[in-house]
Structure 1
Amino acid sequence: MADTMTAQETQATGQYSDPNVTPPLGQAIPLGFQHVLAMFASNVTPSIIVAGAAGLAFGGAEQVYLIQMAMLFAGIATLFQTVGIGPIGARLPIMQGTSFAFVGVLAGVAATQGLSVALTACIIGGVIHFALGSVIGKLRWLFPPLVTGLVILAIGLYLIPVAIKYAAGGAAQFQMEAESFGSLKHWTVALTVVIVALVLKFFTKGTLSSAAILVGMIAGYIVAYLSGMVNFGAVAKASWVTGITPLPYGFEFSLGAVIAVTLVSIVSAIETVGDASATAKAGAGRDATDEEIQGATYADGLGTAIAGVFGGLPNTSFSQNVGIVGMTGVMSRHVVTIGGVILILCGLMPKVGAVIASMPLPVLGGGVIVMFGMVASAGLNMLSEIPMNRRNMVIIAVSLAVGLGLNLVPTAVQYLPGVVKTLMTSAVAPTALCAIVLNLVLPQED
C-alpha cells in the first residue's frame, strides 16, 4: 500500500496531472490514438450483435450504418465529457463508448419488437439517465458492490453463449453457413484471435498490450481472408462520406423496453461514477469532485439520448481507458478529446463501417469470447470485495438463478403480459431487481 500511495503522490505532481494541460501534439496525438485502439473493438461489437438480433443482413447497409453511429456518437459523447457544455461533462480524460451492459436487453427487444422499439427506449432511457445526474449521489446506496457486481456478472454470463455461437461460425438469426457451423475453419479463425490477443496482452507492453484484442481481431481477419471467408463487395459499394438520419427506424414506445433500459441506465450511471473516481485517482492522486461526478453522469445520459435519435446505442465511460491514464500518467483531457475527434471522423466514413461489417463472424466471436469473459470477470472482481457469508451467498444464488434461469427458459413466463415478460426474460433486469430487493430486506449478519 505504501508503494502505491507513493506512486500516486509522485504522479499527482507530474506536469500532466492537470486535466487542462496539453502535451505537445507529437505526444498528444499518439496518446489519443492509443485511447481509440484500446476501446475500438468493444465499441462497435454491441451494434453488430443488436443488428444481428434484429435480423439485419450481416454486412448489409443497415448494419454498416449502426456501426458508423457507434463510432460517431462515442466520439461526440467523449467530447461531452472532455470539453463539456455548462454543467455537462466531467472535464476529465474519460473515453465514452457503446455499453455492453445494454446488449442483453436491447438484443431481446430488437429480436421481439424491432429496432424502432429498442432505439426509442434508448432515447427515453438516455433522458432519464441525464436526469439521474442531479440525484446520482443519493442513489449510490442502492448499488453497493454486491448489487453492481451481480448485475455485471449476469451481463457477462448472458453474453458468453453468443460469443461461442459467433466463434463457431454464426447464430440462428444470420442463417449463414449453417452446414459448416462448428467447423475447424471457423474455430481456427476464432482461436487465432484469442491466442494473439492473449500473447500481446501479457507478453508485450505499451500500445500493443492496450490494443491486444483489436490486433488479435486484425490477425483473425487476415486468416479469414486467406481462407476465403471475407467478402469486400459492400466495402466497394460504400461511399467515403455520408450524412446521418434522424429516427432511421421511427419512434415506437414500449413501457417494458423503457423500464428495462432505464434499470440498466442506473447501473451504467453508477459505473460511470466509479470510472470518474478512478480516473481522478489514477491520473491526479485525488478524489473526483461532486461536480465532476455529476457532470460525467449528465454527459452519459445526453450522449445516449442523442445517439438513440440517430440509430446509436447507449454509451458509457470505458474502464479500460482509465487504465491507460494510470499507465501513462497523462491526465490531460485534451488527449482524450483527440481520441473523440478520431472516432467522429471514422463514424462519418461508411468505408470504415463497411470494412468492420465485412468481418466474418468467427473473427468477432474470438474477440467477444475474451471481452464477454472479461465482463463476467469484472463482476466477480467486484463480488470479491464483499464477505461471503450466508446472507450474501443467498442473494447471489437467488438473483442469478432467477435472472439467468428465466432468460434461458422464457416460456416459463409466457402467460405474463408483454411488458412484464420483456422485463422478466431480459436477464439483467430481474437479476438487478432481485439483488436490490433482497439486499434491502434481508438482515445483515454479524
Structure 2
Amino acid sequence: MPSATHELPLAGSSMMGRETAETAVAPIDDSVDAVPPARRLVPLAFQHVLVMYAGAVAVPLVVGRALDLPPAQLGMLISADLVACGFATLIQTLGLPLVGIRLPIVMGVTFASISPMLAMIAAGHAEGTPPAMVLRGIYGAVIVAGLFGFLVAPFVGRLSRLFPPAVTGTVILSIGLSLMRVGINWSAGGQPTDPGYGAPAHLGLALLTLVVVLCLMRFGHGLLRSGAVLAGTIVGTVIAGAMGQVDLEPVREASWFALVKPFQYGAPSFDAPASIAMCLVMMTVMIESFGMFMAAGQMVGRPVERGQMVRGLRGDAVGTLLGGVFNTFPYTSFAQNIGLLSITGVRSRFVCAGAGVILLALGVCPKLAALVAAVPLPVLGGAALVMFGMIAATGIRILGSVELTFERLVTIAVSIAVGLIPVLSERFFQAMPSALAPLLHSGIVLASISAVGLNAFFGSRASREAEVI
C-alpha cells in the first residue's frame, strides 16, 4: 500500500546535506485516492471554492444583467449555478460508471458560452421575447450540447495521441499565460472599464495578499503551508474590511435557504441554430479540457490515459446536461483550481470533492454564498498571481524535459504567440463571423490547435527526412 505522505530525499554528501535539508518540503498527500482527515480536507476544499467563486458566478451575472432580471431571479441564477457546479465537480472527482476523470478537478461555467447566449438574448430583445422564454431557449441549447458532447466524447478522446510532451507543455504554458490577465485584472479591482481600476488601495491589497501567501509558503508548516492561499485571502479580507472595502449588506439581506428546482422557468425550447452554436461551444470546452486534464495529471503524478480522458470529457458533457436541467449553463474544469495543486502539494481528489459539497451548500444557502462573494477581487488577485504562474511554470517544466529541436522550438514559439492573441488584443478577431467566437476568443483553444497542427506538420517532415537517410 502506498504511503500517504512523502518528503524530498536528502542528499548523502555533507556538502549538499544542509542545502537540501533547507529546501525540503513538508509532507504532502502522495496519492490521488488518499482521503485527508477532516481537519485538513475542509479548509483545503474551501480554499478551492474561494479560488473559483468569482469565475463561477460571472457568467450567470452577465446573462442575468443582459436580460434585466430582478435581483431575486438573478440570485436564483447564481444559486442554480452553484448547485450545478457542485454536482458536476462530484461527478468528475468521484466518478460514475463510464463518467468522471477521478482527478482533483473543480467544475464551473465556461466563459466560451457567453457569446452565443448574448446573441440569443439580443435576438430576444429585438423580437420582444420575455426573459423567461429566452432562458428556456438557452437551456434547450445547453441540453442539446450536453447530449452531443456525451456522444462524441469517445471520438474526441482519440486525439490524445496528438498531445506528446512538447504539445502538452506548450498547452499548459499557454493556459497559465492566458489566465494571468484574469489575475492581473482582479488585482487592479475588476475590469479596465470599472471605476477605480488600478487604484493604489486595490494594488496594495493584492500585494499584501501576495506577500502573506508567499511568507506562509516559505515559513509555514503542514496545513498552514498547504492552505496558504486560504489564509492569505482571510488576512487580506480582514484588512480590506478595516479599510471599508468589504460590503456585508448583501450577506444581511440574503435568505438562509433557497431550493433550486429543475426547469424552474418551464420546459426548455429547442432552436436549431442556437443548438448548433452551443454544440460548437461544447467542442471548444472539450479541446480546453484536454489541456486542463493533462495539466492536472502531470501535477498529481498520474498522466491521463485515453480511457480516462474519455471519462473526463463525458463528465464535462454530463455537467453541461445538468446545467440545462438546473437552469444554468455549460460546464468545464476550472484552470485556476489546477494552479492550486502545485502550490498546496495536496493531490487528493477528495479535497475537490469536498469543494463540490461546499458549492452545493452555498447553492441552497444564499447567505453563505453572499459571504464568500464579499471577498474583494484585489485580494483574490494577489493569490491568483501565484496560482496562475504555477500553471505556466508546470508547462515550462514539461518542456524542459523535451529535446528542443529547431522544429519543436518553432512549434512552441508560434503556438504561444497564437494563444496570446485574444489575451493581448480582444478586438483582433472582431471582423470574423460571430459563430467562430467560442474558438477565436479562447487562447487555450488557439494554442492547442496551433501546437497540434505544427507538431504534425514538422513531424511529417522529420519522418520523410528519416526515410531518406
Residue 171 of structure 1 pairs with residue 191 of structure 2: yes
Distance 1:290 1:414, change over 3 A: closer
Correspondence for 1:353: 369
Residue 433 of structure 1 pairs with residue 445 of structure 2: no
Partner amino acid, structure 2, of 1:46: G
Correspondence for 2:129: none
Q: What's the CA shift for 1:194?
A: 1.0
Per the alignment, in what secondary structure is the counterpart of residue 247 of structure 2? coil
- CA distance, structure 2, for counterparts of residue 52 and residue 205 of structure 1: 38
Correspondence for 1:266: 287
Post-superposition Cα deviations, 1:28-71, rounded to whole Å, max 9, x if no partner, equal: 433542451342223313224445666849xx767755654554
Pairing partner for 1:46 from 42, 55, 61? 55
Q: What's the CA shift for 1:404?
A: 2.1
- CA distance, structure 2, for counterparts of residue 35 and residue 434 of structure 1: 36
Pairing partner for 1:30 from 39, 49, 58? 39
- CA distance, structure 2, for counterparts of residue 232 and residue 78 of structure 1: 28
Per the alignment, in what secondary structure is the counterpart of residue 416 of structure 1? coil
- CA distance, structure 2, for counterparts of residue 379 and residue 357 of structure 1: 31
Describe how 1:401-440 pairs up with structure 2 within 5 A. 401-405=417-421, 408-440=424-456
- Asked if the contact 2:150–2:313 (Cα under 8 Å) also holds between the matched residues in 1, the reply is yes
- CA distance, structure 2, for counterparts of residue 85 and residue 28 of structure 1: 24
Residue 97 of structure 1 pairs with residue 106 of structure 2: yes
Correspondence for 1:386: 402
- CA distance, structure 2, for counterparts of residue 387 and residue 192 of structure 1: 40
Q: After superposing the two structures, state which structure 1 stretch, 46-55 or 377-386, moved more.
A: 46-55
Q: After superposing the two structures, state which structure 1 stretch, 417-426 or 48-57, moved more.
A: 48-57
Distance 1:383 1:153, change over 3 A: same
Distance 1:418 1:295, change over 3 A: closer
- CA distance, structure 2, for counterparts of residue 423 and residue 56 of structure 1: 24
Distance 1:321 1:52, change over 3 A: same
Distance 1:360 1:425, change over 3 A: same
Correspondence for 2:164: 144
- CA distance, structure 1, for counterparts of residue 417 and residue 359 of structure 2: 39
Identity, % of aligned positions: 29
Post-superposition Cα deviations, 1:299-327, rounded to whole Å, max 9, x if no partner, equal: 34312431354325524386478779985
RMSD of aligned Cα (Å): 4.3
- CA distance, structure 2, for counterparts of residue 83 and residue 346 of structure 1: 20
TM-score, normalised via structure 1 length? 0.74
Partner amino acid, structure 2, of 1:167: S
- CA distance, structure 1, for counterparts of residue 179 and residue 297 of structure 2: 26
Describe how 1:358-369 pairs up with structure 2 within 5 A. 358-369=374-385
Q: After superposing the two structures, state which structure 1 stretch, 151-160 or 388-397, moved more.
A: 151-160
Distance 1:62 1:194, change over 3 A: farther
Residue 314 of structure 1 pairs with residue 334 of structure 2: no
Describe how 1:30-429 pairs up with structure 2 within 5 A. 30-50=39-59, 56=65, 68-69=79-80, 71-81=82-92, 84-89=95-100, 92=102, 94-98=103-107, 102-103=110-111, 105-106=112-113, 125-135=145-155, 138-172=158-192, 175=194, 178=195, 180-244=196-260, 246=262, 253=274, 255=276, 258-269=279-290, 271-272=292-293, 275=296, 294-309=310-325, 310-311=327-328, 314-316=331-333, 319=338, 340-405=356-421, 408-429=424-445
- CA distance, structure 1, for counterparts of residue 438 and residue 319 of structure 2: 25
Partner amino acid, structure 2, of 1:88: V
Partner amino acid, structure 2, of 1:415: A
Distance 1:341 1:426, change over 3 A: closer
Post-superposition Cα deviations, 1:337-371, rounded to whole Å, max 9, x if no partner, equal: 55543432233211111112222232232232223
- Asked if the contact 1:43–1:70 (Cα under 8 Å) also holds between the matched residues in 2, the reply is no
Post-superposition Cα deviations, 1:104-154, rounded to whole Å, max 9, x if no partner, equal: x35666777769699777655544443355346522112223333333333
Partner amino acid, structure 1, of 2:447: T
Post-superposition Cα deviations, 1:399-432, rounded to whole Å, max 9, x if no partner, equal: 2323323553354443332223553333233222
- CA distance, structure 2, for counterparts of residue 411 and residue 323 of structure 1: 33
Post-superposition Cα deviations, 1:204-227, rounded to whole Å, max 9, x if no partner, equal: 233222222122112111111100
Partner amino acid, structure 2, of 1:43: M
Per the alignment, in what secondary structure is the counterpart of residue 244 of structure 2? coil
Q: After superposing the two structures, state which structure 1 stretch, 114-123 or 413-422, moved more.
A: 114-123
Per the alignment, in what secondary structure is the counterpart of residue 90 of structure 2? helix
Question: 5+ residue gaps in structure 2?
Answer: 9-29, 122-133
- Asked if the contact 1:168–1:362 (Cα under 8 Å) also holds between the matched residues in 2, the reply is yes
